[in-house]
Amino acid sequence: MRSRFVSVVGSLAFLVAAPGVVAGYVPYLISRWRPQPPLLGLAAGRVAGGALLLAGVASLLHSFARFALEGRGTPAPVVPTETLVVSGQYRWVRNPMYVAVVSIVMGQALLLGRLPLVWYGLGVWALFHAFVLAYEEPTLARTYGESYARYRASVNRWLPRPPRS
């Protein structure tokens, strides 16, 4: 059994290396975090963007904590969880980390009024979707078997909603 310390340290390292780059560094390179006029001229988009950004960060941190403390592992494929994590946000959506990262990028797009960030966010989502279909779901099915099949049947992949019984 992996220690919580190793799980937490590994998760923090992966948080910086993966979402930190995808949702932080690359958007910075695209926008230099300099605001432009609001998208579609809607100033309320900035408020929505800030809310989406904050919700995404909170969701991402919550998901990482679940993996480290409950699953005793990391989101990194090289140090996966020892148990299938299906509590917290994972009861509502199977991929809250990916949803959070895309929310952070789209939140920045709205907050900063940067259309290139919208396109980047859509591209990130498309890559996440391909990864989930080609690698993650087959791997989870092999690793966790029937428990993952039940989970998959009751919880949506991308759109949060109350779980089916």
Q: What pLDDT score was predicted for residue 165?
A: 62
The DSSP symbol for 83 reads S
CATH number, domain with residue 76: 1.20.120.1630
Domain holding 124, by residue range, is 4-154
Q: Report yes or no on 162 lying in a domain.
A: no
Q: Report yes or no on 40 lying in a domain.
A: yes
Q: Report yes or no on 138 lying in a domain.
A: yes
Q: What pLDDT score was predicted for residue 45?
A: 96
Q: Report yes or no on 118 lying in a domain.
A: yes
Could you tell me how many residues make up the chain? 165
User: Is-above-0.75 flag for pTM?
Assistant: yes
**Which of 101, 133, 132 lies closest to 117, judged by CA?**
101
> Within the chain, where are the H helices?
4-17, 19, 26-31, 44-65, 96-112, 115-131, 137-154
Q: What is the mean pLDDT of each successive set of 10 residues along the chain, which is 165 residues long?
A: 86 95 98 96 96 98 94 90 93 97 98 98 98 97 96 95 76
Q: Report yes or no on 71 lying in a domain.
A: yes
Q: What pLDDT score was predicted for residue 162?
A: 85
Number of domains in the chain: 1
C-beta separation of 59 from 99 below 8 A: yes
